[in-house]
A = this chain, B = another copy of it.
Amino acid sequence: MSVTAAAGFTAAGVAAGLKSTGKPDVALIVNGGPQKVGAAVFTTNRAKANPIIWSQQVVADGVVEAIVLNSGGANCFTGSFGFETVHHTAEQVARSLGVGAGDVLVCSTGLIGTGDATFRSRVLDGATRAAAELSERGGDEAAHAIMTTDTVPKIATVSRDGWTVGGMAKGAGMLAPGLATMLVVITTDAEISADEANQYLRDATRVSFDRLDSDGAMSTNDQVTLLASGASGVRPDPASFGAALSEVCLSLAEQLMGDAEGASHDILIRVIGAANEDDAVTVGRSVARNSLFKTAIFGNDANWGRVLAAIGTTDAEFDPYDVDVTMNGVRVCTKGGPDRPREDVDLTPRRTDIEIDLRTGDAEATIMTNDLTHAYVHENSAYSS
């Protein structure tokens, strides 16, 4: 059900010819209220796509009526024509729904530089048709319409105490810090204010999407959006709602990791014993971005030396000669020296657990990443994005 699991929302996904495959490529999600609360976090890349520039303005007042998303073209670095396309798209949706264009978010994903007149007319056509096909059961179609190299749609739902949080995500490459090439829409029928939505979303993304670092590359188009309708009539307990939102975000992030381009291992790098959480994240990310570590895991090689070489490049608080490394339950390195033989580690399962004990403090964090494989190189050299 994804984005239509929560009461008050309708959605649709249509094929507008943006994808050469003819598959659905335009999604629309509409908040029927009674509240029209919206919050979003965006890529921190300074090279922001036109939809990002537009959406940052739309969400500023906390009021969002609808969000329209397309795959098949990023509308990034497409100049003023591309920005006008975003504006026209929002206006088209607004007209169809009888709302203001300034309350319509726009997201795009696909090849940078794609955003010509053909692109524009297809997006506008798709938006119009999607508005005509809105349904309370449209969540799955919407989730399909935002897929690019994704092999499966990503959806998650949590219901508690009379309210529901549901979401959809796309993203299979360029999954990186402070957001991945991902588009995520999460809806809820809980009663929350715009300020609360903003804070809940930032708290949840910080420990989920922000900890996913598939290939270190940061997209120009990333956006994670939370829409709240208040249709349940229930004001949620803050801790309960925060936990539910985090659960949905983490589930979606794990699904993104599991479908990352060409990956053969899902790697969870858990850093414990850190002086603080920032240090734990820094150390985990340095390993997640190390090409030599990532190729070693692809080769089922428990190469703990590459782990230590990676963390040695950080400024986190620890002694490189007092670090333990455990791989899939086998401690291969104790206090910066060899422990059990690397051959004892079974790296054949897809799921790979790396634990790094910095032996400095009590903080911890887990970074999600993937291995670096032949298939990754193939997909990203043969497929333009």
Q: Would you call the interface of chain A mostly helix, strand, loop, or mixed?
A: loop
Q: What chain B residues lie within 8 Å of A301 (beta carbons)?
A: 381, 384
Chain A positions 341 through 377: 1 when the CB is less than 8 Å from some CB of chain B, otherwise 0: 0000000000000000000000000000000111011
Q: How far is the CB of A343 from chain B (nearest CB, A)?
A: 11
Q: Is the CB of A111 within 8 A of B305?
A: yes
Q: Is the CB of B374 within 8 A of A377?
A: yes
Asked whether A310 is an interface residue with its Cβ less than 8 Å from the other chain, the reply is yes
Q: How far is the CB of A177 from chain B (nearest CB, A)?
A: 9
Q: What chain B residues lie within 8 Å of A336 (beta carbons)?
A: 47, 77, 79
Q: What chain B residues lie within 8 Å of A48 (beta carbons)?
A: 312, 320
Q: What chain B residues lie within 8 Å of A338 (beta carbons)?
A: 77-78, 113
Contact flag A304-B381 (CB < 8 Å), given A46-B313, A309-B45, A320-B46: no
Q: Is the CB of B381 within 8 A of A220?
A: no
Q: Give the contact stretch, choosing among A23-31, A91-99, A211-219, A247-255.
A: A211-219
Tell me the complex Cα distance, A296–B292, Å: 19
Q: Is the CB of A216 within 8 A of B289?
A: yes
Q: How far is the CB of A376 from chain B (nearest CB, A)?
A: 7
Tell me the complex Cα distance, A313–B46, Å: 6
Q: Is the CB of B381 within 8 A of A309?
A: no
Q: How far is the CB of A356 from chain B (nearest CB, A)?
A: 12
Q: What chain B residues lie within 8 Å of A118 (beta carbons)?
A: none
Asked whether A104 is an interface residue with its Cβ less than 8 Å from the other chain, the reply is no
Q: What chain B residues lie within 8 Å of A276 (beta carbons)?
A: none
Tell me the complex Cα distance, A220–B174, Å: 28
Tell me the complex Cα distance, A76–B306, Å: 11
Tell me the complex Cα distance, A140–B174, Å: 44
* A262-298 interface with B by 8 A CB criterion: 289-292, 295-296, 298
Tell me the complex Cα distance, A264–B28, Å: 43
Q: Is the CB of A313 within 8 A of B45?
A: yes
Asked whether A337 is an interface residue with its Cβ less than 8 Å from the other chain, the reply is yes
A301's nearest neighbour on chain B, judged by CB, is B384
Asked whether A41 is an interface residue with its Cβ less than 8 Å from the other chain, the reply is no
Asked whether A206 is an interface residue with its Cβ less than 8 Å from the other chain, the reply is no
Asked whether A299 is an interface residue with its Cβ less than 8 Å from the other chain, the reply is yes
Q: How far is the CB of A301 from chain B (nearest CB, A)?
A: 6
CB < 8 Å neighbour of A291 from B333, B380, B382 = B380
Tell me the complex Cα distance, A147–B93, Å: 63
Q: Is the CB of B217 within 8 A of A310?
A: yes
Closest 4 interchain pairs by CB? A112-B305, A47-B312, A299-B381, A295-B380
Q: List 8 A-B contacts (CB under 8 A).
A: A45-B313, A48-B312, A112-B308, A113-B338, A173-B292, A218-B313, A299-B381, A377-B377
